[in-house]
A and B are shown apart, each in its own frame.
Chain A
């Protein structure tokens, strides 16, 4: 098993006729993701790579049984797309675009909370569950193999960098999730670490964080409280980032007493979480914990 997805996961691609939507519908299908429908207002009756297109998510759900969706629409339209998916009864929504307006994100998260729906992103490469051959996003799947490391990360390229080293060493992943680079996102480290704890396929949890925000501290607090018993390995990028500077991700803004590298390292230490100083140390620590 994996987390967030299972063998019943059927995906609807919102924005399937756009360039990125079509391209990654192709790469997801090739990998094995069960894509059952796409949505594009005005394009009902068409097909993209053999996938039927509908005007509305609700029709796509009725006609094809979609229970998950991936959103490839432009940032300004992401709110409308996400709320439509929520109202149509979709259970898992992965929001790909970056630069989604903050208040739109807040509205999406409130609606998702009210309806008990899981959101991943925005500004995420998505997620991948290698044992199910299921990826919802644009994660380069050739660097991922099935296994028992649960990965949650804030950055795309850094995750590929680290996961590819695990994969080269023959260490696979249960599920790997990019939580997204924005300050307001759906699933966060404290949510996902609980799901990994409950997932029988996951033996070790790998957290790839960044300075800024409080997700790392919140996850560490769950470990310190004994709510997470599985071994956790962490790597945090950005100790050399000057305070207060935005380094690409708006999420990496250092503010308050929490959010700094010092605060994160302290909370990891308190929780007994092994922290890697370099990407190559991640591999060593994960190997140790798997023994």
Chain B
């Protein structure tokens, strides 16, 4: 879960880290009022990437300028704006705590070239951290020496403490603005680990309404892919492999769906939701019953077809536990299942055209 810049800065500020005076606003009048209070300001669209290049950052020297800038930026925003005191920046640094998955360790990443996307690895210093020991004084010293700012050691320690406390995947300060009055967090990107949210105070917005919300409500991982071949599948890997085959055979997948250990009721529900999706011309059910059972899933499919009919053709491919029983159930309503995944996908693509 990604925190909005305003939320990220509030959190850091509470931890004793310097951030510019500022506020989240959603109207030009509010922006004008804030500028009247704090003087020269910078306005940035919240919740967007690559804002500099996209013209989503503006400076204003007066309340009237702030009003105009806000009016313009609000057209590009969904989450409102952050308006804050303009800093007199002497130097822009980059500081981040992240996780290096290839070594299973947190890493401290620092660079003297903050403010832009850092592309050249030569400009970066990476320091792996033993999480059971924490960021050592030596490591912090090494990082600040590289940055040429010995005074930043306590700042790094505060930041690491936050990284740990909030179960962060990424805590990136870019830039860390060096001013005559010390270091300020000019921008902060904080990702909280989704699997840790139950022990954190942050609440994720869940999709409201639509197929996404219904699939999420059933506990499944779903993504709209916009094509015409709908997919009902259990297992992320098998779902991705089936999507790949749809494309190989010239079709366009409508969605990704991982229903995990699904049973017949789940399949029924999945078909119910997916058949509402616009543009779906065929549905492939791609199942390998490793722990679950073909007969249970076949019952879900036949119940759906009996009650709702086949508005679009349903192609079933299932193998695994109680396969023969499952096949018999499907054949009882005239649905001929496939054993071979590739053949089933070919058929689903063919009938979707």
Residues of A within 8 A of B (CB): 75-76, 99-103, 105-107, 109-111, 113-114, 138-140, 143, 153-161, 164, 181, 183-186, 188, 208, 210-211, 213-215, 218, 237-242, 245-250, 252, 277-280
Contact = CB atoms under 8 A, between A and B. Distances in A.
Contacts of A160: 288, 290, 320
B102 A218 contact: yes
A-B pairs, top 4 by smallest CB distance, nearest first, are A155-B237, A157-B235, A248-B236, A158-B237
A138 B245 CA distance: 27
A138 B106 contact: no
A208 B236 CA distance: 13
A183 B132 contact: no
A247 B104 contact: no
A106 B319 CA distance: 37
A17 B193 CA distance: 29
B258 A279 contact: no
B341 interface: yes
B291 A155 contact: no
Interface string B137-168: 00000000000000000000000000010010
B241 A158 contact: yes
Nearest to B260: A248
A247 B291 CA distance: 21
Given A102-B193, A239-B247, A248-B258, 15 more contacts: A102-B169, A106-B99, A106-B106, A110-B104, A111-B132, A155-B235, A155-B240, A157-B288, A161-B288, A183-B99, A186-B104, A237-B238, A238-B244, A240-B246, A248-B239
B27 interface: no
9 contacts: A76-B198, A155-B237, A156-B290, A184-B99, A237-B244, A238-B243, A247-B223, A249-B237, A280-B341
B193 A156 contact: no
B321 interface: yes
Given A109-B104, A158-B241, A252-B236, A240 B193 contact: no
Contact of A161 (B130, B321, B341): B341
Q: Name which of B99, B234, B247 has the most chain A CB atoms within 10 A of its CB.
A: B99
B111 to A, nearest CB: 16
B131 interface: yes
Contacts of A157: 234-235, 237-238, 288, 290
A184 B240 contact: no
